Amino acid sequence: MEQVRTRGTAGVVIAVVGVALICVIAWRGMTPDQRDVTAAAQNAAYELERTPVHGLGLNIFDVQEALAHGAGRGAYNIRVRDAGRDSEKRDLYEFTNRNDDYPVCMTVEVDIDLLDDAPSFPSVSVEEGACAS
């Protein structure tokens, strides 16, 4: 009788370890890598370049919205933060995964003519690596 319990307990332990291992592998598979972060930033750039800008320019909320449209359901795994401005007064936004790995820098420039009612369209570039302001 004791041998049956030991076998049953061993089976349960093996099953629990197997399920835990599958969960860890699935979790790691859902974490975006460099390619995923770069693609998300490029898709957000595509959205921004095609969205007219009215008013004074873009802000982090516009970039987050472009990320949501461009990356779709995968956007929740990507983090974007305002990284300031560069020496040429262009806005910088840094994309990473949720662990702050694989930084990608988006540079945004919008020429606004406050005397004209016509919308402006931003000029956007994406480069792998952290933003250097």
* CA–CA separation, 106 and 128 (whole Å): 9
- pLDDT for the residue numbered 7: 57
Domain segments of the chain as ranges: 1-30, 33-128
Question: In the β-sheet with 78-85, what is the strand arrangement from edge to edge?
Answer: 78-85, 91-97, 104-109, 123-128
* CA–CA separation, 18 and 63 (whole Å): 41
Using alpha carbons only, give the angle 64, 68, 72 rounded to the nearest 5 degrees.
Answer: 160
- pLDDT for the residue numbered 115: 78
Is this prediction's pTM over 0.85? no
pLDDT by 10s per residue, the chain, length 133: 555 555 556 555 454 444 444 544 444 446 789 999 999 999 999 999 998 887 777 899 999 999 998 877 677 899 999 999 998 889 999 999 999 999 999 999 988 777 777 888 999 999 999 998 6
